[in-house]
């Protein structure tokens, strides 16, 4: 049995770092294992201009430990008022790597998102021209669509039409949760990719709802039935370059999770690599972990792979502290529900 696994240093292609005290607490957790991350712009207020992205990047860099080797790749939050020229300048300077599309109301802090997709057509066309990828939160928000169907309906009603009418637009389907999403991404050609989170490889909807409600397993898109989880595991362990790691590590304080109307998000930055190694080992696919975590993402984003490496070793179960203390209050780590035998060497 493999006892040690060395990978190119992974990247996280979908990460929430927040701001203020939460940023200072969680940024070191990602910097410990990851070289780069696509940083989500859903702050309050959201990061919509190049100037705001530059200021946020500075706050992230200031929150990193001395000597940390971690590059935040910034995103702009697409609104119906996004200025194509501001985006073009921010992308050309290397400040902004991608643009994030949230359908209005789809998830945490998405009120400024897009309601009328025709209004963002000029920006999307500009993005296709300059080669700036669009990261998509792929859920419709219509009240009459069942929450478990929102991803599949989004693909048919929104994503596929956008891709047909904007040839050349490079799209990342963020945090896909369904077989439908995996199939669409796999068949979508070189301009389409998909991130998959750690937690969606581990939990299905029973974990959230059976035997008592588990707020720490509630995230968006919500975990689906077991057949979908199995399709996601098959996708990531296939080595197909369409799929790459985006943890969607989304910290909320316990006080904000444990409410009658609690926040969506799982905090997985600290233990993601140990969990992934366990998932890939069970599928006898440890040799494909590097493709998913370290190679496929840079290939899609047309960035070099990382030169440095990390090593995981197999041994007695590794203990992660159940909570991260922050000056805003404790944040509970995602609990995979099984022992983790792979430790990341410091
Ligand atoms: C994210 C958050 O908390 O910002 N929550 C989540 O459940 N994933 C937003 C998001 O990515 O949808
Ligand atoms: Zn997210």
pLDDT tens, residue by residue, 312-340: 999 999 999 999 999 999 999 999 999 99
Quick check: CB of 137 below 6 Å from ligand 1?
A: yes
Q: Which residues are catalytic?
A: 248
Q: What's the mean pLDDT in 167-185?
A: 98
Quick check: CB of 108 below 6 Å from ligand 1?
A: yes
pLDDT higher than threshold 70 for residue 124: yes
Cα–Cα distance, 64 to 62 (Å, whole number): 6
Tell me: is residue 57 an annotated ligand-binding position: no
pLDDT higher than threshold 80 for residue 1: no
Ligand 1 atom, smallest distance to 197 CA: 8
Distance 1 CA to ligand 1 centre (A): 37
pLDDT higher than threshold 70 for residue 309: yes
Domains and CATH numbers, the chain: 4-344 (3.20.20.140)
Ligand 1 atom, smallest distance to 220 CA: 7
Tell me: is residue 289 an annotated ligand-binding position: no
Tell me: is residue 293 an annotated ligand-binding position: no
Sign of the torsion angle spanned by Cα atoms 243, 137, 164, 53: negative
pLDDT (0 to 100) of residue 118? 87
Quick check: CB of 198 below 6 Å from ligand 1?
A: no
The share of the chain scoring above pLDDT 70, in percent, equals 99
Please choose, from the candidates 144, 134, 87, the residue with its C-alpha nearest in 3D space to the C-alpha of residue 114. 134
Q: What's the mean pLDDT in 299-320?
A: 98
Ligand 1 atom, smallest distance to 263 CA: 3
Distance 62 CA to ligand 2 centre (A): 22
Quick check: CB of 16 below 6 Å from ligand 1?
A: yes
Distance 169 CA to ligand 1 centre (A): 24
**If you compute the radius of gyration of the chain from its CA atoms, what whole number of angstroms results?**
19
Distance 252 CA to ligand 1 centre (A): 10
- Half-sphere exposure (Cβ direction) of 115: Cα atoms closer than 13 Å: 4
Tell me: is residue 137 an annotated ligand-binding position: yes
Predicted model pTM = 0.97
**pLDDT confidence band for 3 (50 / 70 / 90):** very high
pLDDT (0 to 100) of residue 2? 66
Q: What is the pairing mode between strands 4-8 and 71-77? A: unpaired
How far is C-alpha 281 from the geometric centre of its chain's CA atoms? 22
Looking at every residue in the chain, the average pLDDT score rounds to 97
Give residue-wise pLDDT tens across range 33-46. Answer: 999 999 999 999 99
pLDDT (0 to 100) of residue 121? 94
Tell me: is residue 264 an annotated ligand-binding position: yes
pLDDT higher than threshold 70 for residue 154: yes
Cα–Cα distance, 255 to 189 (Å, whole number): 43
DSSP summary character for residue 226: H
Please choose, from the candidates 32, 72, 67, the residue with its C-alpha nearest in 3D space to the C-alpha of residue 56. 72
Please choose, from the candidates 198, 150, 197, the residue with its C-alpha nearest in 3D space to the C-alpha of residue 174. 197
Q: Do 87 and 76 touch, CB atoms closer than 8 A?
A: yes
The string of DSSP codes covering 41-102 is: ---SS---SHHHHHHHHHHHHHHSPTT---EEEEEEE--TT--HHHHHHHHHTTSEEEEEE-
C-beta atoms surrounding 224 within 10 Å: 24
Q: Do 97 and 40 touch, CB atoms closer than 8 A?
A: no
**Residue 325 Cα distances to 50, 98, 219, 251, 307, angstroms:** 32, 31, 21, 11, 32
pLDDT (0 to 100) of residue 227? 98
Ligand closest to the CA atom of residue 113: 1
Give residue-wise pLDDT tens across range 62-120. Answer: 999 999 999 999 999 999 999 999 999 999 999 999 999 999 887 777 888 898 888 99
Q: Whose CA is nearest to atom 6 of ligand 1?
A: 265
Ligand 1 atom, smallest distance to 42 CA: 4
Structure-block tokens of residue 34: 């990851």
Cα–Cα distance, 232 to 49 (Å, whole number): 34
Q: Do 50 and 89 touch, CB atoms closer than 8 A?
A: yes
pLDDT (0 to 100) of residue 71? 98
Q: What's the mean pLDDT in 209-234?
A: 98
Q: Which residues of 230-241 are buried (b: 16+ CB within 10 A; e: fewer)?
A: ebbbebbbbbbb
Ligand closest to the CA atom of residue 18: 1
Cα–Cα distance, 344 to 346 (Å, whole number): 6
Cα–Cα distance, 16 to 197 (Å, whole number): 12
Give residue-wise pLDDT tens across range 267-293. Answer: 999 999 999 999 999 999 999 999 999
């Amino acid at each position: 049995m493999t006892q040690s696994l060395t990978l190119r240093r992974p990247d996280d292609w979908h990460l929430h770092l927040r701001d203020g005290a939460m940023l200072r607490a969680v940024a070191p957790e990602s910097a410990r294992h990851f070289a780069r991350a696509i940083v989500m712009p859903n702050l309050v207020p959201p990061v919509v201009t190049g100037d705001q992205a530059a200021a946020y990047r500075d706050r992230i860099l200031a929150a990193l430990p001395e000597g940390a080797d971690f590059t935040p790749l910034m995103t702009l939050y697409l609104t119906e008022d996004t200025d194509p020229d501001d985006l073009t300048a921010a992308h050309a300077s290397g400040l902004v790597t991608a643009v994030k599309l949230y359908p209005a109301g789809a998830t945490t802090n998405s009120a400024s998102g897009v309601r009328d997709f025709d209004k963002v057509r000029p920006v999307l066309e500009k993005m296709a021209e300059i080669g700036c990828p669009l990261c998509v939160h792929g859920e419709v928000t219509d009240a009459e669509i069942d929450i478990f169907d929102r991803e599949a309906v989004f693909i048919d009603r929104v994503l596929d039409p956008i891709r047909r009418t904007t040839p050349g637009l490079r799209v990342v389907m963020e945090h896909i949760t369904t077989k439908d999403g995996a199939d669409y991404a796999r068949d979508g050609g070189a301009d389409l990719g998909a991130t998959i989170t750690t937690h969606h490889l581990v939990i299905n909807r029973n974990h959230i709802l059976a035997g008592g409600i588990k707020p720490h397993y509630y995230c968006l898109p919500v975990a689906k039935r077991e057949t979908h989880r199995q399709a996601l595991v098959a996708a990531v362990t296939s080595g197909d370059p369409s799929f790459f790691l985006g943890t969607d590590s989304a910290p909320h304080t316990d006080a904000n999770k444990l409410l009658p109307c609690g926040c969506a998000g799982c905090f997985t930055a600290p233990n993601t690599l140990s969990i992934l190694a366990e998932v890939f080992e069970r599928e006898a696919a440890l040799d494909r972990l590097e493709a998913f975590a370290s190679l496929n993402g840079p290939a899609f984003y047309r960035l070099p792979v990382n030169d440095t490496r990390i090593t995981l070793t197999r041994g007695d179960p590794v203990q992660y502290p159940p909570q991260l203390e922050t000056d805003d209050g404790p944040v509970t780590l995602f609990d995979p529900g099984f022992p983790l035998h792979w430790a990341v060497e410091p």
